[in-house]
Structure formats: structure tokens, C-alpha cells
């Protein structure tokens, strides 16, 4: 399909990510596709495309945040597109929910992220575009192409624009699992990094946390893919500040921010929390800064349609070929 044949490219929004989808369409240079969701009294709903999409490339943008209605709405929109004779159906999932269930960490539990991959393919998805998966191996759960975008494409320019000497910046991971991410950022900017070791009593409850490394006199940036309850990040920030850091920031792609997480951030040692708009904020906060993803997503969609590589979306930002492939 010709890249100039814009009348055959459609971008539709699920209800969870409508604002972002509208901005993506605007950046792409087309109107957001016309769709509605009919809501029944008992809670059942039915998505409907209000224009012909026959033979077109259809992008459906929906983050699969709670509740699970958002995931099911995406699946129903994919099914509707397939039955409306779309040529290609691409699910754009800025935040891939249930990604923390990527393996069996104890007996008798599901691997939910694999289940969702199977459901998307069964519904008729030809390709998936997502950002900062919680675990890289989730890409292998699909038998279709997965374009994995990186929050580093947004965070790196922001870091370089901070009014602090870059040599005084130190990166930190709030747990051992994120040490690889912190290490790659540190290598890219020729800085060092530290790690917070944590032990959980149960999900969302930290039993113990210790800092591994020296942060005295440094401006520390905590890196992670998800901030949920905020407990881990805020506790890590407090420990790092107590250890002599000049300032502590957190840069986290997906602002789940459950319960009173925003209040925890506001009352913590964090100078600021920098996130993206893959998930709409529940409310604004003076400590939370949101970086837009629309330009990055729309450029990825344009390259998919025109069969161009998306590799240099990472390279031009990181100034180091191949580094972005290690940041999840």
C-alpha cells in the first residue's frame, strides 16, 4: 500500500485512550476514525465503526488498563474490524496490562500476558505496537510482529535538558529486576548507577529495602516501567535522599498510580515524577510531569504503513546504535 494513500489508513480510539489516539491521528495527519460504543443497562457494551474500513489498514489504539472492560473492548473492536473486511488490523497498546504476569512464579497461577497475546491473535490482530513492556519476553508470546517502542526516546532528551551538570547525574533502579535498564542509561551517558534491593512480603507490600551503592552529592534518577501504588518508588526516593543525594527524580513510563499513589508521591522525597501519557492521569499534581507519546507513536505507524524501519527512532535519540534495544 502506498504511504500517500491516506484515505486507506484509519486510526480509531478505544475509550481508555481516546485523547492520546486523537493526538496520534493529528500527528499522523488524518482525522480520528468515527466509532461509537453502545452501552446497555446491564453493563454490556458494543463497539461500532461508523464508517467503511473495507480494504484499509486499521490502527486501534487502546491501553489495557483496569478494568478488564478496556481489554475486552479492544478485542471486540478488532473482531468488528475483521468482520468489516479491513485489510490489516494493528493493535496499538501503549500500556500492555497484565504484563507483570509473564511467568509462573508459584504453582497454580496463569501466565496472563501470554493468554492476552493468544486472545489478540485469535481476534484477528495482524501486528502489535506497544511501549516499554514489563518483560521483553512477552514479545515472544506472539506469532505476529511486535513493534516495541521505548520510553527512553522521550526520557533521554528530558534528562539532557535538565539544568544540572550531566556528570553529577546518577541512575538508580528501585529493585534488582530493573538494574539492566539503569545500567544502559548510565552507559549511554557515561554515568554510574545504584540499585535498591527490596524484599516483598506479598504483592504491593515491601518488607525490606536497602541501597546498594553511594549516592552522596549526586542528582539521582530512578527508572522503572510502571508505578502502581507508588510504595516502592517513594521508599527508594526517601532512602536515596537520606543517603546524601542532592535530589531524587523518578522517570517511569506507565503511570498506573493506584489508590492514593499520587498522595504518596506528593509527600515523598521525590523532586518530580516524570511519566508518559500511555495512561491518562487520574488527577494532576505539581510533582508529576507528563511527556507526550503521540509523535513517537504516529511516526511508528507511518513507518509501518510505508514499510520503513523504526530502528533509527531509537538511535537518533540515544546517540548510540543498538543501546535502545536493551532498554525495556
Alpha helices in the chain (DSSP H): 18-28, 69-83, 112-123, 152-160, 179-189, 231-242, 261-266, 294-305, 312-318
User: Is 88 known to be catalytic?
Assistant: no
Residues 101 and 110: their CA atoms lie apart, in Å, by: 7
Q: Which DSSP category does 277 fall into?
A: S
Between the alpha carbon of residue 186 and those of residues 4, 181, 311, the distances in Å are 40, 9, 21
Among 152, 199, 154, 155, smallest CA distance to 174 is for 199
Instruction: Choose, from 88, 114, 198, 241, the residue flagged as catalytic.
Output: 198
Q: Which candidate, 91, 103, 158, places its Cα nearest to that of 131?
A: 91
Distance CA 326, CA 227 (A): 20
For residue 31, how many other CB atoms are within 10 A of its CB? 12
- C-alpha to C-alpha distances, 293 to 20, 141, 162, 275, nearest whole angstrom: 8, 25, 19, 10
Query: CA 225: distance to chain centroid?
Result: 7
Active site residues: 198
Amino acid at each position: 500500500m502506498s504511504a500517500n494513500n491516506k484515505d486507506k489508513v484509519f486510526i480509531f480510539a478505544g475509550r481508555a485512550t481516546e485523547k492520546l489516539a486523537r493526538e496520534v491521528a493529528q500527528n499522523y495527519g488524518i482525522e480520528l476514525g468515527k466509532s461509537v460504543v453502545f452501552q446497555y443497562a446491564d453493563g454490556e457494551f458494543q463497539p461500532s465503526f461508523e464508517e467503511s474500513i473495507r480494504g484499509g489498514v486499521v490502527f486501534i489504539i487502546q491501553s489495557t488498563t483496569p478494568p478488564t472492560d478496556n481489554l475486552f473492548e479492544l478485542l471486540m473492536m478488532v473482531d468488528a474490524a475483521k468482520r468489516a473486511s479491513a485489510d490489516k488490523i494493528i493493535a496499538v497498546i501503549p500500556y500492555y496490562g497484565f504484563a507483570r504476569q509473564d511467568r509462573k512464579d508459584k504453582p497454580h497461577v496463569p501466565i496472563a500476558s501470554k493468554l492476552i497475546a493468544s486472545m489478540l491473535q485469535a481476534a484477528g490482530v495482524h501486528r502489535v505496537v506497544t511501549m516499554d513492556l514489563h518483560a521483553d519476553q512477552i514479545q515472544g508470546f506472539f506469532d505476529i510482529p511486535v513493534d516495541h517502542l521505548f520510553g527512553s526516546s522521550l526520557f533521554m532528551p528530558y534528562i539532557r535538558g535538565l539544568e544540572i551538570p550531566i556528570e553529577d547525574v546518577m541512575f538508580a533502579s528501585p529493585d534488582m529486576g530493573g538494574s539492566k535498564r539503569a545500567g544502559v542509561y548510565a552507559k549511554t551517558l557515561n554515568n554510574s548507577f545504584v540499585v535498591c534491593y527490596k524484599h516483598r512480603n506479598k504483592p504491593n507490600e515491601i518488607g525490606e529495602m536497602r541501597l546498594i551503592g553511594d549516592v552522596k552529592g549526586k542528582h539521582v534518577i530512578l527508572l522503572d516501567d510502571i508505578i502502581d501504588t507508588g510504595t516502592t518508588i517513594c521508599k527508594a526516593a526517601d532512602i536515596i535522599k537520606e543517603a546524601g543525594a542532592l535530589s531524587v527524580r523518578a522517570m517511569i513510563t506507565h503511570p498506573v498510580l493506584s489508590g492514593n499513589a499520587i498522595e504518596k508521591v506528593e509527600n515523598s522525597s521525590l523532586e518530580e515524577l516524570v511519566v508518559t501519557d500511555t495512561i491518562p492521569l487520574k488527577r494532576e499534581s505539581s510533582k508529576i510531569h507528563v511527556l507526550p507519546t503521540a509523535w513517537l507513536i504516529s511516526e511508528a505507524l507511518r513507518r509501518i504503513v510505508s514499510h520503513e524501519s523504526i530502528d533509527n527512532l531509537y538511535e537518533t535519540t540515544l546517540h548510540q546504535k543498538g543501546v535502545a534495544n536493551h532498554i525495556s
